[in-house]
Structure 1
Amino acid sequence: MSSAEWEDDDPFEEQRDKIENPMKRLFLAYGRDYLPQVSVGIFASVFARLLDLLPPLMLGIAIDAVFYEDALFSEQIPLVILPDAWLPTGQTEQFWFTIAVIGAAFGIGAGFHWIRNWGFNAFAQNIQHDVRTDTYDKMQRLNMEFFSDKQTGEMMSILSNDVNRLERFLNDGMNSLFRLSVMVVGIGVLLFWINWQLALVALLPVPIIGGFTYLFIKIIQPKYAEVRSSVGKMNSRLENNLGGIQVIKSSNTEPYESDRVDDVSMDYFDANWDAITTRIKFFPALRVLAGIGFVLTFVIGGLWVFQDTPPGPFTGDLSVGMFVVFILYTQRFIWPMAQFGQIINMYQRARASSARIFGLMDEPSRLAEDPDAEDLTVGDGDVVYDDVSFGYDEETIVSDIDFAVEGGETLALVGPTGAGKSTVLKLLLRMYDVDEGSIRIDGQDVRDVTLKSLRRSIGYVGQSSYLFYGTIRENITYGTFEATDEEVREAAEAAEAHEFIKNLPEGYDTMVGERGVKLSGGQRQRVTIARAVLKDPDLLILDEATSDVDTETEMLIQRSLDRLTADRTTFAIAHRLSTIKDADTILVLEGGEIAERGTHDELLDNSGLYAHLWGVQAGEIDELPQEFIDRAQERTARLVEDAESDDD
């Protein structure tokens, strides 16, 4: 796939586009559990902001009553809610009363601000945690087909960046929303209470700001969706490159990969810059509109006080103190109106992120577990594949697979690359579900038992020998967490791993590094075998378990495997045919179908595909029939064609 084509692919676009009202769904699905916290935050926010409005009001009253002596406190309209007996009458007493009220407003307000921040932070952090864990849990339960189509970086972007963006809105955005709402409503009421005529002047820009904000929402929403998509694509490219850094270095392709990273980074730059340019035009325009209201209020109010008569159509009186209150409140009113744009900005970002999150959550899975399913009970360990067929994307992968394995026997699957060997055994693990036919273990259909019990009964050793970041002990006990140190040591001995582990600096507590990079390939493989030994499964799958190690290491690993497979139903996939020649039955797959079956000697006597594959590994190239070589070339060409088709 070309860089441009790869970047145009949004793996969650179809699901994301189906999400309606993602923010409503977020609050209904996750917000209900934390209503007490957000309710406390809202309550405290209201009282904190009401107390914030008190100092400017007291300042205006003090100007008229204390400094200009135009009126007593008891005559000030906003204070009619207080009994006259509580209000001082002397100039000095009124001065100190003003200071006391302002100081109390700041002190008590600080307490409410703390409670407000606690409430909103608790609300946001809890939802962030629940959304992330639920999204991850949903993701890891999807079948393997999902992961073959999706980039790891894209999923990491959703679990990290998008979830964090939700937290920023739920905390900062909602906090600001209620804070500004209280300010706007509270100030609006006070302005109309003090002088309704001048209040109309101050609020003149509000309808224009509202219309301008609505237009901004319509324009910015699709831009933020594109930004979130481009972030996921960029993360996918970076994750791919960092995971393949050894290939990049060995291929001397650093300049090529730098160009590809430059391309995805520029795509993100373009999308983000498009949103930024829209945003930076919007907020200055809001400030201009807000400034118009402030200037008009200052001009008309100033002339009113300066001329001592109302200008134009206005009537009544306006004192110096109340004019000062008006100016202070108007500034506090207009700027919050402009800041609503910032909240809308955060909301649109959160909405784009929540659509991506729920798009992942709503990803359909082909696996459906019966809620009434019972646990698998393994007795003899007999396994039967009854005319099994499977495919995806309208392409058949395996067809009419039919065989039976008795308990304790070993069945090997061999064949050219792409023949369907791994798919056959993934169906046993229910990584996928069969399209036709059935798979039974001791007579129990794997679709009728719980996934947990099925996979607990099957051990898997693959060629990748994946180790998690942590100690050797933690990797051996992965999946069997309650194992004792003695059981871990016995498993390591059975896997021919104990000798090299005890010679490590920290023994079983040695850190293996990211994906086990501090160990050799053979050491990693023996640790994974020890993990399987410790699990003591009823059935065992060996997926080319020795394909990537040297001959000496293979000998040690083969000894481990011989112990592990004794008296245990075993399935083995192998390209190196010498490792499976003693299997009870060998199935030869070609094109997703069983081409041959039998023991090693029987298949050699048949002089078919298996015999030719054996001849290749024995170095008998010149003795191979031309028909086999032609078919090998056709298979290789078909694999290349399929790979290119997948990239397209």
Structure 2
Amino acid sequence: MTQTSAENDTAQAAARDKAQARGLVLWLWRGYLHKHVWLLLVALVFMAIEGSMLGALSYMMQPMFDQVFMQGDGSALAWVGMAIFSIFAGRAIASVVQKVLLTRISQHTAADVRTTLLDRLMAQDVAFHKTHPPGYLIQRVQTDVASINQVWSAIITGAGRDAISLVVLMGVALNVDWRWTLVACIGLPVLVLPSLVVQRFVRRRSREVRDLGARLATRLDEVFHGIVPIKLNRLESYQSSQFRNLTNRLVGTEVRAAIGAAAIPGLIDIMAGLGFLAVLFYGGGEIIAGEKTVGQFMAFFTAMIFAFEPLRRLGAISGLWQVAAAGIERIRELMDAEPTLREAAAPVPPPSGTPDVALSDVRLFYGEAEILRGVTMRAEAGKTTAIVGASGAGKSTLFNLLTRLVDPQHGHVAVGGVDVTRLSVADLRGLFSVVSQDALLFDETLRENVVLGRTDVSDARLKEVLDAAHVSDFLEKLPDGLDTEVGPRGSNLSGGQRQRVVIARALLRDTPVLLLDEATSALDAQSETVVQAALDRLAAGRTTLVIAHRLSTVREADRIVVMDKGRVVDEGTHDELIAHDGIYAGLYHLQFNTGGPTAEDRLAAQTVADPPRTRRRRTFVGRLLSRLPRL
């Protein structure tokens, strides 16, 4: 009963694997391979020619041995020799042509898959990228797509060359003696169940290899991007140890997968040995008795020898498919993942002119954590609105909402009176220019980092934005001017220079709304002065929202919004907020050491926006502070 149940489970699992394999092959064919169908057919024709040549060669063994060697027929020597030479020449030409065609097909299709996958990944929202680190995605795009090339090459070659070789060679063997052929294949039934078990083992190990490879890629990405803090904190040994542990796990899993993949052709070799042993005993007696000729035996022997080689390769395809299928499954999972942010079903035109920006009772959760708690605020059109508050207050999240990197669970976000969910994402983001402290530059020329692929930018317009952003101040110092390569992430430029390039990019975009997120916080005083002047010019005539910890950069804002723990707790001009003597005043006096309210006073001011339980806790702490001796 137990054995029967295990056999049924194995059969059901095999059926599921076959159905899944068919689904993957159909996905590859319909999505990418069918566009190359004519080239593929030509390649298959040449594969068929290459494969059939082995059958022709084995067939020629009989006249070569019987007529030339055994009977000494000299007249047969010429035509047999030329026939064999023609077989090898035809096989060589067919092999070259089909390999070139197949390489062209596989490389083009792999490029299509990579491009499509990258497009899908870039379309995903921020929440997706928070759970899928860059190293993981790089592994999927590079390594897993490479496995598709292996599958196409192996399966198509197996179908076009090895399968035809096997059919032709078995036809030659059957033509010589069908009984010998059955005896030679006596071990085939023994292969079925072990092969199914081995295939499932290889698939599981291959999935583990892909996942470990992705973790290794993520670790490398973290190491190389964090090389400075790693050095400063003397973490080289720690990171090396972590990487070595992952590598050792990967090696062990790779070896186990290789054992499984090699087991299938190994089983075929054992079966082939048993078959030849049986034929030798069975057919040898017929040759000794004169019932069969040496030429017939050599033709049969050669056909079977040649037949087991493509059979071995076809068996190896099974193992290779299991390895590749694990990668293809991961690719399909990423391609089938739907972005949580949906485009508007019937998008409306974007607002014209310089729009205002408004949030109404906006609440946002990341999992269980509530990030924004009923935020209501408005940034007037053409004016500068600053958003200040402690780290974690939810300031940057507001920018993510405005540009629809994330949607709130409650409330509304509007630009120019239009809810952002009613606009197409492209139109919405076309309204904004963003300058943050992380000046993102690409490993291209400075010119390309400003124009970003645009071809409609005149030299005069480009010079105008470069002058306005103070990029022209350092341009002459660069070795190739605008054609200077800025290096990975702009590493060939200083922090201030990178910021000015990003500002020039924003000026060239010329959008009505400007978002500045700590744009000068990482700069020294001299660079900050230059960059701030460029930002002031950029903000002129635009609806501008500024996030800043340095309150000196927002004093002149038309309106300042104070946030604390995901809520708007105060707003007004600088002078009004100082007069309110709340959180903003506390932050201002703390930064500029004006001798303003004490720590106890600032703590009391913060309780205005706190819920009752927190307010009681802060009041208790305030009483404790009041009893401490004044230093």
TM-score normalised to structure 1 length: 0.86
Match in the other structure for 2:7:
none
Structure 2 counterpart of 1:433: 407
Shifted more, 333-342 versus 464-473: the winner is 333-342
**How far is the alpha carbon of 1:212 from its aligned partner?**
2.9
Q: Distance in 1 between matches of 2:391 and 2:158?
A: 59
C-alpha distance 610-20 of structure 1, shift in aligned 2 (>3 A):
farther
Equivalent residue runs for 1:22-37 within 5 Å: 22-37=24-39
When structure 1 is superposed on structure 2, of 542-551 and 103-112 the one drifting more is 103-112
Deviation at 1:426, TM superposition (A): 1.1
Task: Give the whole-Å Cα distance in 1 for the aligned partners of 2:283 and 2:606.
Answer: 92
How far apart are 1:564 and its partner, in Å? 0.6
Contact 1:469 1:512 in 2 (8 A): yes
Report the CA distance between 1:583 and its aligned residue: 0.9
Q: Which deviates more, 145-154 or 268-277? A: 268-277
Q: Which of 97, 100, 111 does residue 115 from structure 1 map onto?
A: 97
1:418: which partner in 2? 392
Aligned 1:116-265 pairs, distance under 5 A: 116-265=98-247
1:570 equivalenced with 2:572 (yes/no): no
Q: Is the 8 A contact 1:169 1:350 kept in 2?
A: yes
| CA distance in 2 between partners of 1:274 and 1:586 (Å) | 62
Moved more, 367-376 or 528-537: 367-376
In the other structure, the counterpart of 1:538 is 512
* 1:521 CA displacement: 0.7
- Letter aligned with residue 386 of structure 1: S
Deviation by residue 1:519-571 (Cα, 9 ceiling, x = unmatched):
11111111111111111111100000000001111111111011110111101
Q: Which amino acid aligns with 2:51?
A: R
Residue 166 (structure 1) shift: 0.9
Partner of 2:571 in structure 1?
A: 597
C-alpha contact 1:492 1:498 (8 A) present in aligned 2: yes
Q: Counterparts of 2:354 and 2:264 in 1: how far apart (Å)?
A: 72
Structure 2 gap ranges (5+) = 1-19, 608-616, 619-631
SS at the partner of 2:435? strand
Give the Cα separation in 2 of the matches to 1:628 and 1:318. 108
What is the aligned counterpart of 2:77 among 76, 92, 95? 95
Asked if 1:337 is matched to 2:311, the reply is yes
**Contact 2:386–2:554 under 8 Å retained in 1:** yes
Match of 2:502? Answer: 528
Change beyond 3 A, Cα 1:631–1:92 = farther
Residue identity opposite 2:40 in structure 1? V
The one-letter code of the counterpart of 1:37 is L
Deviation (angstroms), 1:631: 10
Distance 1:549 1:275 in 2: 51
SS state at 2:408 partner: coil
Q: What amino acid sits opposite 2:197 in the alignment? A: L
Using the TM superposition, give the Cα deviation of residue 503 of structure 1 relative to its aligned residue in structure 2, in angstroms: 1.8
1:232-276 Cα shifts (integer Å, max 9, x gaps): 011111111111011101111111111111122122123222223
Return the alpha-carbon distance in structure 2 between the equivalents of residues 242 and 455 of structure 1.
31
Cα distance between partner residues in 2 of 1:575 and 1:223: 50
Q: 2:281, 2:245 → 1: CA distance? A: 54
Q: Residue 475 of structure 2 aligns with which residue?
A: 501
User: 1:29-72 CA deviation, whole Å, 9 max, x = no partner?
Assistant: 222222222222223212221123212211322322333349xx
Partners of 2:339 and 2:79 in 1: how far apart?
Answer: 69
CA distance in structure 2 between the partners assigned to 1:115 and 1:69 by the alignment: 39
CA distance in 2, matches of 1:627, 1:142: 46
Q: Is the 8 A contact 1:422 1:543 kept in 2?
A: yes
**Shift, 1:624, TM fit:** 2.8
1:424 is displaced (CA, Å) by 0.5
Alignment match, 2:5: none
User: Which residue in 2 is equivalent to 1:62?
Assistant: 64
Distance 1:420 1:291 in 2: 72
SS of residue matched to 1:53: helix
Shift of 1:375: 4.1
User: Which secondary structure state, in structure 1, belongs to the residue aligned with residue 38 of structure 2?
Assistant: helix
Partner of 1:638: none
Aligned residues: 590
- Please state how far the C-alpha of 1:299 moved relative to its aligned partner: 3.7
Give the SS at the match of 1:567: coil
State the partner residue of 1:83: none
After superposition, the Cα gap between the structure-2 partners of 1:210 and 1:43, relative to the gap in structure 1 and judged at 3 Å, is farther
Aligned to 1:311: none
> What SS does structure 2 have at the residue aligned with 1:225?
helix
| Structure-to-structure mapping, 1:390-469, within 5 angstroms | 390-469=364-443
SS in 1 for 2:404: coil
Correspondence 1:354 to 2:356: no
Does structure 2 conserve the Cα–Cα contact (< 8 Å) formed by 1:294 and 1:331?
no
Contact 1:516 1:524 in 2 (8 A): yes
- Aligned to 2:440, the other structure's residue is in SS state coil
Counterpart amino acid of residue 530 in structure 1 = A
TM-score (norm 2): 0.89
1:38 touches 1:123 (CA, 8 Å); kept in 2? yes
User: Does structure 2 conserve the Cα–Cα contact (< 8 Å) formed by 1:154 and 1:233?
Assistant: yes
Q: Separation in 1 of the partners of 2:22 and 2:576?
A: 62
What letter matches 1:511 in structure 2? E
CA contact (8 A) 1:428 1:446 kept: yes
